Structure 1
Amino acid sequence: MNKDILDKYEPIIGLEVHAQLSTKSKIFAGDSTAFGNEPNTQISVITLGHPGTLPRLNEKVVELAVKMGLACHCDITHENIFDRKNYFYPDLPKGYQITQDKTPICRNGYVTVKTKHGVHDITLTKIHLEEDAGKSIHVEGEDDTWVDFNRAGVPLIEIVTDPMIHSSEEASGFLTEVRRLVRYLEICDGNMEEGSMRCDANVSVRLKGDNELGKKVEVKNMNSIRNVQRAIDHEIGRQIKLLEANKEIVSETRTFNVISGTTSGMRTKEELNDYRYFPEPDLSPFIISDEWLNKVKSSLPSLPNELFDKFVKEFGLPEYDANVLIDNREIASYFETLCDCTKKYKAASNWMMGPVKSYLNEATLSIANFPLTPQKLGELIDLVEDGKVSFSVASQNIFHELVKEPNSSAYELAKGLNLLQDSDQSSIQPLIDETLKAFPEKVAAYKKGKKGLLGMFMSEVMKRGEGKIDPRLANELLRKSLG
């Protein structure tokens, strides 16, 4: 589409993110929430809404929802009720969904998002609790639709943003940060492919300068952050084309086709009054006390943005390093402990993003199963930084031996393997003299301005020293010898 036409319009996007809470049982019943079991093996009379059965609230669900609210700077609602949301889905066995309408457990708040255009806050309308529906399965060639109720009643939080996102990049940044938060808090695994985190995007466009929102289209069925971006970009373009052709945008729910990268209509969009919300009569209100709330607050881990600030401001790391390290909670925690064991923070970061990451990838291990404690890795880092061994020798030899013998001392291993560097000037200088004597023409060329030859001389000196001399001292002495 012509850039001039695109620039006439302003996209307005709001996201609704469902995160499946990591509880062993459902929100109102004791049925298992395990993923991947045989269809309809994790259901009970409560899940199926049989007459005479009553739901009972799972307290762990409330705790996990509050943790997310606190991490998003929300106001926590102390007096909560559940509501019935009435609509027809064949995979909702009761014929209604238990959710929160008037009293969402978390209100307001924000999530800080980083994009190439800078850092800003995306504000939230609310985070509320609800139960999931089951799953309809349409088998090609079959006349009937199969229904699996295992997922029905699984606890969800729905995170609803204000309509303030203006690009697919911002939407992607928001989802990336939400996924990182739920993983840090250990309240959801954030796996969009398995459906434990899902996103619906409400997209509208308007002419720049207009105050009224355009007609909203909700896009569903996006199973990755990349596909959310693709769907939003397509929908923005589709709506602009309609407006440019003086055609009406229908307020509807659309599905995203991963293969074609396009959206298609599913049904017209329901209005809020279509859901006929009313308070759930089978559940008593639940109260969150200040005492219980403070207990939950005290259990929160360090969050990604807090660690980012610590790594950059206190440890002096580049922002790139900090972003890589905070991406995974276990990695960030290991690194934080590592920095208690060595003060060579940048070197520690290089080791984490280099040899350690390579080892974990090759061994298909998580940092939780890494054989070396932060204390042992810190010893090895200090050996290099103190000039006892070179980085190449440490990373290619000692590191791998230490992994095999994680209770050993890095220094004793280096000593036993005869890998300790010689930092004695009296033994290094003869090697430099020998090297310069062997290349008189190149020495002359260096002195005439070919400074790039320094690397060649260093390589020759290190060869003569069998890689066991201090390169920093050798470099210093070599420069002096060359004048």
Structure 2
Amino acid sequence: MNRKEMFKENLKIGLEIHCQLTNLNTKLFCNCLSNYRNSLPNDNTCPICLGLPGTLPLLNKRAVDFASMVCIALNCKIPEKISFYRKNYFYPDLPKNFQITQYNSYEISSIGYEGHFSIDDDSGAFTQMANSKPSKSQIRISRIQLEEDPGKIVYEDEKTSANTYSLIDYNRAGVALIEIVTEPDFSSSHDVRIFLNDLINIFEYLGVCDPSLEGSIRCDVNVSLRGGKKVEIKNISSFKDVEKSINYEVTRQRTMIMHDMEVQAETRHWDEKRKITISSRSKEEEEEYRYFPEPDIPVILLGGQSFVSSIRSQMHELPNERLQRYKEQMGLSTHTANILANSKKISDYFEESLKHYNSPIEISNWIVNELLSKINEMEKSDASKGVVIDLAAKMSPAMIANMAKLVSEKGLNRNMAREIFAKSFQSGEDPYYIVKSMNVEKISDSEEILSLITETLEIQPTLIDQSKTNPNVVNFILGLIMKKTRGRTNPQLAIKLIQDVLSSKKN
């Protein structure tokens, strides 16, 4: 079903994105390491994140800063003060039997609210820009809240549903997490996928999260069709599966409506193996969590506009800002600028290359048209399937800059330059070394070119007489010289010298 057909069905999709602030050093309320992934089970814990009696949480100030950066990037309002609440529920991965989070029922307590993320209708891609005015086509951000991550349940055999027991690893408990809740403004699974990809790009540019880490970004989806009840889909492991789960759930709900069956408000889990959603439990209501203010954490006064200005001064350039700079200041095409700016790793690689040779258009062409093409070929090949290849590991920024410099300074033709690039990419040797070993530098020495012209006319003396009536003889002689030197001769200089020689012969 295409986007227009989905919209006709009054499809409403909302997202709840959980992003770990992995670039913090410590957890949200204690000094345990934020990076728990290399620890033995339950080794990265302390009395605070285990919720032992008598312990008191101490808020990580840097977590507040990181969360505020995300709020600014998504055009959210940041309140004068924030507070925390206890969300009470009983589950094995929650050591305290409550989660410290934020709650906006009684007052605005979350770190950000009423944001928006604009959609570029012409390109079909999402763009964000701080302080931009909301467009008529936009995704509203209901709130962004700061909370602690629960522990992790490890099943006996995750490949089957027949588990007789499970284990609990509390290493993750207490890791700083932001939850981004959108309004149900999406009308297609494709738009959801684009939104999530752009959101990851923002996290990377801000430096708050490493999305490549397992479990660092998780997404729950809420789907309703034709004004029906909302169904939540959880346990989605990848953005590809987010798209697939939405498509499946739309089909399921549509089929039920066609057969006059009522769609229940419930929580369903995504079965990754069978690619279907499975009913898990009825949807909880807010009052079931018995929210109440966290007594051990006082209200935090942020500082108003001075706080926002301070946070903004710490923020790195956002993707949209970098995109505009590439187009307006460097003169890159929209297509090239988008490819570079839509990946921080590629964009940083480009920026580093410019430090070695400041030629944005030439360097960007080598990156986009040659380097990325070869990287994509390698990643798609059977031998490298599933492997993400690091650009700099295959060809350093200095090497790609040298490729651009060679074309400019040595006057290499494009075919020869591509041959040198391929050799450099394959061997890891610097292009300058390859040019020297191949002896392919452009011949611009007048004496050497005159010698070639003389030699050619001695072999074919009739060309002198033919040149008196046929001006194309000059190009013919140039072609012979180019063939002999494998295209290395400077064509402009050669043409002038051929004309001078023929003119002297005529006289």
Normalising by structure 1, what TM-score? 0.81
Aligned to 2:255: 241
8 Å contact kept, 1:390–1:471: no
Distance 1:414 1:283, change over 3 A: same
8 Å contact kept, 1:113–1:173: no
Distance 1:325 1:58, change over 3 A: same
8 Å contact kept, 1:82–1:283: yes
Deviations 1:242-289 (A, max 9, x none): 111111000000011122211010000011111111110011111212
The one-letter code of the counterpart of 1:160 is V
Match of 2:115 among 91, 105, 109: 109
Match of 1:383 among 379, 401, 406: 406
Aligned to 1:317: 332
How far apart are 1:143 and its partner, in Å? Answer: 2.5
Matches within 5 A, 1:261-276: 261-276=275-290
8 Å contact kept, 1:113–1:177: no
Deviations 1:409-438 (A, max 9, x none): 95x98568643213579939959988xx8x
Aligned to 1:24: 25
| SS class of match (2:261) | coil
Confirm or deny that 1:133 pairs with 2:133. Answer: no
Counterpart Cα distance in 2 of 1:75 and 1:476: 68
Aligned to 2:234: 220
How far apart are 1:151 and its partner, in Å? Answer: 1.0
How far apart are 1:351 and its partner, in Å? Answer: 1.4
The one-letter code of the counterpart of 1:467 is G
Matches within 5 A, 1:85-164: 85-102=87-104, 103-113=109-119, 117=124, 120-140=137-157, 143-164=164-185
Counterpart Cα distance in 2 of 1:419 and 1:38: 57
Distance 1:461 1:228, change over 3 A: farther
How far apart are 1:134 and its partner, in Å? Answer: 0.9
Distance 1:421 1:137, change over 3 A: same
Deviations 1:359-381 (A, max 9, x none): 8788987456687555x754542
Match of 1:351 among 355, 362, 366: 366
Distance 1:214 1:364, change over 3 A: closer
Distance 1:112 1:337, change over 3 A: farther
The one-letter code of the counterpart of 2:47 is V
Distance 1:6 1:191, change over 3 A: same
8 Å contact kept, 2:114–2:141: yes
Counterpart Cα distance in 2 of 1:281 and 1:457: 91
8 Å contact kept, 2:352–2:397: no
How far apart are 1:315 and its partner, in Å? Answer: 2.6
Aligned to 2:130: none
How far apart are 1:237 and its partner, in Å? Answer: 1.1
Aligned to 1:201: 221
Distance 1:95 1:7, change over 3 A: closer
Counterpart Cα distance in 1 of 2:166 and 2:237: 22
8 Å contact kept, 1:389–1:470: no
Aligned to 1:210: none
How far apart are 1:110 and its partner, in Å? Answer: 2.0
Distance 1:379 1:261, change over 3 A: closer
Count of residue pairs brought into register by the alignment: 451
How far apart are 1:126 and its partner, in Å? Answer: 1.0
Deviations 1:187-243 (A, max 9, x none): 111137x1110000000011xxxxxx4210000111111100000011111111111
Counterpart Cα distance in 2 of 1:96 and 1:130: 11
8 Å contact kept, 2:198–2:342: no
Counterpart Cα distance in 2 of 1:101 and 1:176: 27
Distance 1:241 1:405, change over 3 A: closer
Match of 1:38 among 40, 63, 70: 40
The one-letter code of the counterpart of 1:105 is I
The one-letter code of the counterpart of 1:25 is T
Counterpart Cα distance in 2 of 1:171 and 1:473: 57
Distance 1:270 1:477, change over 3 A: farther
Distance 1:91 1:343, change over 3 A: closer
8 Å contact kept, 2:6–2:187: no
How far apart are 1:67 and its partner, in Å? Answer: 1.1
How far apart are 1:43 and its partner, in Å? Answer: 1.4
Confirm or deny that 1:306 pairs with 2:321. Answer: yes
8 Å contact kept, 1:56–1:283: yes
The one-letter code of the counterpart of 2:263 is I
Distance 1:233 1:476, change over 3 A: farther
| SS class of match (1:123) | strand
Counterpart Cα distance in 1 of 2:261 and 2:31: 51
- Which one is further off, 76-85 or 139-148? 139-148
Counterpart Cα distance in 2 of 1:92 and 1:358: 46
Counterpart Cα distance in 1 of 2:153 and 2:182: 28
Match of 1:400 among 424, 434, 438: 424
Counterpart Cα distance in 1 of 2:58 and 2:270: 36
| SS class of match (1:350) | helix
Counterpart Cα distance in 1 of 2:39 and 2:29: 20
Identity of aligned residues (%): 34
Confirm or deny that 1:52 pairs with 2:51. Answer: no
Distance 1:250 1:400, change over 3 A: same
Aligned to 2:63: 61
Distance 1:146 1:373, change over 3 A: closer
8 Å contact kept, 1:28–1:55: yes
Distance 1:467 1:417, change over 3 A: same
Counterpart Cα distance in 1 of 2:49 and 2:187: 40
How far apart are 1:299 and its partner, in Å? Answer: 1.5
Counterpart Cα distance in 2 of 1:47 and 1:341: 47
Distance 1:356 1:99, change over 3 A: same
The one-letter code of the counterpart of 2:261 is K
Counterpart Cα distance in 1 of 2:292 and 2:69: 27
Distance 1:381 1:238, change over 3 A: same
The one-letter code of the counterpart of 2:139 is I
Structure 2 gap segments, 5+ residues each: 127-136, 379-386, 464-474, 499-507
Confirm or deny that 1:173 pairs with 2:194. Answer: yes
- Which one is further off, 233-242 or 380-389? 380-389
Matches within 5 A, 1:6-25: 8-22=8-22, 23-25=24-26
Aligned to 2:131: none
Counterpart Cα distance in 1 of 2:484 and 2:242: 58
8 Å contact kept, 1:71–1:181: yes
Match of 1:468 among 488, 502, 506: 488
Counterpart Cα distance in 2 of 1:95 and 1:274: 14
Distance 1:365 1:245, change over 3 A: closer
Counterpart Cα distance in 2 of 1:431 and 1:9: 79
Distance 1:5 1:388, change over 3 A: closer
